[in-house]
Amino acid sequence: MNGIKKAKVEKKLRRKTNPELVETIIAAKKNPKWLEIANLISRPKRKQISVNLDQINEKVKDGERVIVPGKILGEGQLNKKIALVGFSFSQSAKEKLKKNKIETLELLNEIKKNPEAKNIKIIRE
């Protein structure tokens, strides 16, 4: 998938100290369908993806399952009914998503629940 090598992900994994991140990367790299996500979340901290709610709102349609391989921030509003999956959520994003009754999932749970990575849309920025 896009020329991503497991060995490269494993090399990046050795530098990670966050146990939740390590567990998520290990789970993602086991399945070729999730290897791209493993590569994105194993990036250095300064290159990690962070996306605001208004950016997500512009790029999605109702009913989609959206994955953000990084942090979801609370700037703006999200008024579409979607399932939002992310590695982490800011406090303000959690509050807004809960208020709007938007389904949220941690990335690790989604990897376990959907091993074939079906019906997902990845937002990188």
For residue 115, the SS3 value is coil
Token pair of 32, please? 């070729």
Structural domains of the chain sorted by starting position, each given as residue range(s) with its CATH number in brackets:
6-122 (3.100.10.10)
pTM of this structure: 0.86
pLDDT for 13 equals 84
pLDDT for 2 equals 61
pLDDT tens, position by position, 45-74? 899 999 999 999 999 999 999 999 999 999
Quote the CA–CA distance of 68 and 50 in Å, as a whole number: 8
Quote the CA–CA distance of 12 and 118 in Å, as a whole number: 26
Which residues in the chain show pLDDT less than 70?
A: 1-2
